[in-house]
Structure 1
Amino acid sequence: MKNLKERYIDDIQEVIVIDNLSTDRSEEISKQFGAKFVTIKNFSYGGSANFAAKQTKFPIVVMFSAHSYPVSHDFFKLIKKKFHEKPNLAGVRCLHSPNDYKNFINKVPAKIDPNKSGLIFSGSAFSRQVWEKYPFREDVATFEDKEWTKRVLKAGYDIDFVASIFCYQIKRNKKQLFFRFKNDVVGNYQLWHTDVGFISSSKGFIMSILRLLKSFFVDFWYIIKRYTFLIKFIFNKPDKF
């Protein structure tokens, strides 16, 4: 919030925080920085995106996950410029990962790779006018942004990269990783038709066990090496500068 208000105050018309019945200081902090704070009770990824878009009347909607924030100084300027240059644009994908840069530099369009060149809600922008015709689906487990990408491309609109850089900063615990895993399995099946069978599941289980054992022995080996080095260092310290 501090980043948005201090670095980009001249580039944005409003800031809206979508809350899911949090019990922290989200509302207090949001209002401290002059943001509109609204709560959604029954959360879904597509539902929260639709709920957010309904809160604003401006033609370009920029979406951030709670763990993402803009970095480049011209972040919003480049988005606005891209939409003005391409009237048929439904949305733009900003840059944050090696996959983004790879497809951006190699000019891989969303029509070829809707997954890695399409919309990503941790840092993207979309046309409110297009959204009014094609709202996000609320019945998909995840990848609601990719599903929307495929749908609007099929309808004749464009989705493009924009050289606006943001940071994606998150650390998930085991429970959160498992929650994400479940959604990804369902989403991959729904959108990319990636099926799951007994053989592939068993193979994945066995490989995970093997990687776990390998990781344990490698870590244990380097624990011993570090300890051995420290003991040697104690008895053979170099001269201080």
Structure 2
Amino acid sequence: MVLSILIRNLNEATALETCLKALALQQVNSEYEVVVVDNESNDNSVAIATQYGCKVVTMPRQKFSYGGAINFGINHCKAPLILILSAHVFLLNDNFLQQIPTHFTNEKVVGLRFINSLNADAVTGAFNKPQQTITWQTEQGNVAAIWQKTTVNHCAAIRKNTWQQYPYNEVIISGEDKLWAYEVLKSGYAITVNIPLFYTYHKPMSRAQLIQKRAQEEVALILVTGVPFKNYPTSFKATIKYAYGQFWAAVKHIKTYCKTTKYIKEILPIQKQHFKL
């Protein structure tokens, strides 16, 4: 067995089933396993995972952290390569799994970053730019650059033996994937990014959940990079500047809406004269 697939899940039965259906459609000629780390779901997630032949391991909710859940799951994985997935991911290439080992032929490469199809710029870049192998030297030890470019744990592949040396941090509130990348790059390893293997990650969130997620990511960024409030500066001047920009962005949206409505009213009567169904 070459590959273990690790999926984190909490009450995501519908998304999990979509994820597993996409895996079942993969064209792959080698054996792999699927391990689901379930955080005591109350829905039928476990039944669905079992139906699709997954190994299910339960992690108590009170012990959850992103890094902790991944470490817990990898401990139950058998293969030397681990594909880490969120339950909200489904793979688009039918040879996604088949291609993963081919990107680990260089022993220095210990992690892979793939392309989220919802990011149009990343998709375009994957076709127009060759994949890149990132090292500590190529990024000149720039923590902020490493944060932006390296592995994203809703869909990332890593070597298990490297993880055994550098397990994920279980304390940091978010960004455990970025901190791991920082540590392995600093230790002389490499991560390949911009790989033209595509997936979709979409997790609907309430406004409160989105605010919490953004705040956690910003806190992690501050802790790892040492740069205070990079994306959400807290000074009064910065807040006013942000509000000013948002106000004029809203004005532009309203103008666009009004102009579009006016144009519809102008062309609809003309088109009605010529169009018959």
Q: For 1:49-89, what per-residue CA distance to the aligned partner results, in whole angstroms no more than 9, with x for missing partners?
A: 10111111211110112222221222122211222x21233
What does residue 173 of structure 1 align with? 206
Cα 1:12/1:178, change in 2 over 3 Å: farther
What does residue 244 of structure 2 align with? 210
What does residue 130 of structure 2 align with? 105
- How far did 1:18 drift? 1.9
- How far did 1:46 drift? 0.8
SS of alignment partner, residue 25 of structure 2: helix
- How far did 1:209 drift? 2.2
SS of alignment partner, residue 98 of structure 2: helix
- Please give the alpha-carbon distance, in whole angstroms, between the structure 2 residues aligned to 1:99 and 1:240: 40
- Is the 1:95–1:163 contact (alpha carbons within 8 Å) kept by the matching residues of 2? yes
What does residue 147 of structure 1 align with? 179
- Is the 1:108–1:117 contact (alpha carbons within 8 Å) kept by the matching residues of 2? no
Cα 1:10/1:230, change in 2 over 3 Å: same
What does residue 118 of structure 1 align with? 150
- Please give the alpha-carbon distance, in whole angstroms, between the structure 2 residues aligned to 1:19 and 1:104: 38
- Please give the alpha-carbon distance, in whole angstroms, between the structure 2 residues aligned to 1:7 and 1:75: 7
What does residue 62 of structure 1 align with? 83
- Please give the alpha-carbon distance, in whole angstroms, between the structure 2 residues aligned to 1:12 and 1:204: 54
- How far did 1:12 drift? 4.8
- Unaligned segments of structure 1, at least 5 residues: none
User: Which of 81, 86, 95 in structure 1 is aligned with 2:115?
Assistant: 95
Query: Residues 1-241 of structure 1 correspond to what in structure 2 (within 5 A)?
Result: 1-8=20-27, 10-40=29-59, 41=61, 42-83=63-104, 85-96=105-116, 97=119, 98-99=121-122, 101=125, 105=130, 107=132, 109-111=134-136, 112=139, 113-161=145-193, 162-196=195-229, 200-201=233-234, 202-232=236-266, 235-236=269-270, 237-241=272-276
- Is the 1:117–1:160 contact (alpha carbons within 8 Å) kept by the matching residues of 2? no
- Is the 2:25–2:94 contact (alpha carbons within 8 Å) kept by the matching residues of 1? no
Q: What is the alpha-carbon root mean square deviation over aligned residues?
A: 2.7
- Please give the alpha-carbon distance, in whole angstroms, between the structure 1 residues aligned to 2:50 and 2:151: 29
TM-score normalised by structure 2 residue count: 0.75
Question: Residue 70 of structure 1 aligns to which amino acid in structure 2?
Answer: L
Cα 1:203/1:64, change in 2 over 3 Å: farther
TM-score normalised by structure 1 residue count: 0.85
- Is the 2:131–2:192 contact (alpha carbons within 8 Å) kept by the matching residues of 1? no
SS of alignment partner, residue 15 of structure 1: strand
Q: For 1:135-167, what per-residue CA distance to the aligned partner results, in whole angstroms no more than 9, with x for missing partners?
A: 111111211111111111222222223432222
Identity %: 24
- Please give the alpha-carbon distance, in whole angstroms, between the structure 2 residues aligned to 1:32 and 1:173: 30
- Is the 2:36–2:54 contact (alpha carbons within 8 Å) kept by the matching residues of 1? yes
- Is the 1:99–1:116 contact (alpha carbons within 8 Å) kept by the matching residues of 2? no
SS of alignment partner, residue 62 of structure 1: strand
- Is the 1:134–1:152 contact (alpha carbons within 8 Å) kept by the matching residues of 2? yes
SS of alignment partner, residue 184 of structure 1: helix
- Unaligned segments of structure 2, at least 5 residues: 1-19, 140-144
Question: Residue 93 of structure 1 aligns to which amino acid in structure 2?
Answer: R
- Please give the alpha-carbon distance, in whole angstroms, between the structure 1 residues aligned to 2:205 and 2:102: 35
Q: How many residues align?
A: 239
